[in-house]
Structure 1
Amino acid sequence: MTRTRRYTQRKRAAAREGTRERIVEATMQLHEEVGPRATNISAIARRAGVQRLTVYRHFPDETAVFEACTSRWLELHPPPEPAAWACCEAGPARVHAALLAFYRYYRDTRRMWRAALRDEPEVPALQGPMARFRDHLRGVGEALCEGFGKDRNPRLAITLQHGLAFTTWASLEAQGIDDVAKAELVVAWLEGLVG
């Protein structure tokens, strides 16, 4: 009897987890397709093949489901980390490698970034995760700036932060510039400030 009960409990727990995953997956798909602002609980429930009440059983409110969506999306699409360019010489070479890593990341994830940046001001649930990503970029930029020495131009950090931003990548992309040329352009801006 005890084994049967445990087996049934495990089966129910697995079914609950599967339903939760479908809800999170549906939310990610909708965020990318129509944007977070246009994604509501009814649309999530329809896409996941569940009732609205089922969504609320797993997530108390829209903020909770959005946070679960963001966490899962970032697990699937982690932003570049400094280890990827740590082997490059500090200064322009390391900046170039970091920019290329971010630009390739943006290229692969551009639909979600466009939707998130567009809707962020109107969707409070996005503001925390977006602030954390900006903090990550700021940390990357500060570390990269150290490669230019202690007496560097203060505008170097501002220029580098601008170069690391998705909006800069998107603006240069709209002009038909490939990722390598984008990175070279930002490095040239920095070298202009250093030289």
Structure 2
Amino acid sequence: MAVEKATRTYRMSRRADAMEDTRRRLTEAIVRLHESIGPARTTIAGIAELAGVQRHTVYRYFPTEDDQIAACSAHFWADHPWPSLDSWAAVADPADRLARALRELYRFYADVEPMLVNCLRDAAEMPAVQRALASMGEFLDSAAKILSTGWAPERGRRKFLVAAVRHALAFGTWRSLVRDGGLSGTDAARLMSSFVEAAQN
């Protein structure tokens, strides 16, 4: 009986390992497709081919579009964590805080650009992608609050300062300066730091 129980336990463990390996391969395939062609162009057939499984296997693990996007989002952002808001908040001087934040954020944008470009493009037609991007909006809202504190804008200029900070944080701003304008990430961060500082006067 002990041998039979050990054998059954071993088989169950092997099966669980195989299922986990299949889930991992499927998730990695979804991430690669979302990053290369975007969620809207990703198909069950494409996922199955890239993961080396049959279509029905994809349906078994990720039966809905929401399931696929949730798995992709969890996996991708675990590998590409957003910069630390706490580390930014710990910098006392607002100008130094902003400069550090923009340098780190712009490096981050460079790392995740293909995924963000595709997801932002497809979000308009895919509510599941919109939901997955909600955390990005929350991050940028929190970042704007942290980076807008500690300044001493002239009377009536507070709204200009906040608007400038939000503009500096935007992914589209980084792309405009770096991809369209040909600036380095460091130079783009310096330019936006000067932009924000000028907005308070």
TM-score by length of 2: 0.91
Q: 1:168 aligns with which of 173, 176, 190?
A: 173
Letter in 2 for 1:140: A
- Counterparts of 1:3-152 in structure 2, within 5 Å, are 3-149=6-152
Q: Which moved more, 1:95-104 or 1:128-137?
A: 128-137
CA RMSD across the alignment? 1.6
- Deviation track 1:65-115 (CA, whole Å, cap 9, x = no partner) reads 111111100000011112443453331110110011110001111111111
Q: CA deviation at 1:147?
A: 2.1
Structure 2 residue runs without a partner (length 5+)? none
Deviating beyond 2 angstroms after TM superposition, the runs of 4 or more aligned structure 1 residues are: 83-90, 149-152
How far, CA to CA, are the matches of 2:177 and 2:162 in structure 1?
Answer: 19
Letter in 2 for 1:167: G
How far, CA to CA, are the matches of 1:124 and 1:143 in structure 2?
Answer: 29
Conserved in 2, the CA contact under 8 Å of 1:24 and 1:69? yes
- Counterparts of 1:153-164 in structure 2, within 5 Å, are 153-164=158-169
How far, CA to CA, are the matches of 1:45 and 1:138 in structure 2?
Answer: 37
Q: Which moved more, 1:154-163 or 1:45-54?
A: 154-163
Structure 1 residue runs without a partner (length 5+)? none
* 1:181 pairs with 2:184: no
Q: CA deviation at 1:149?
A: 4.9
State the identity as a percent. 37
Larger radius of gyration: 2
Q: CA deviation at 1:139?
A: 0.4
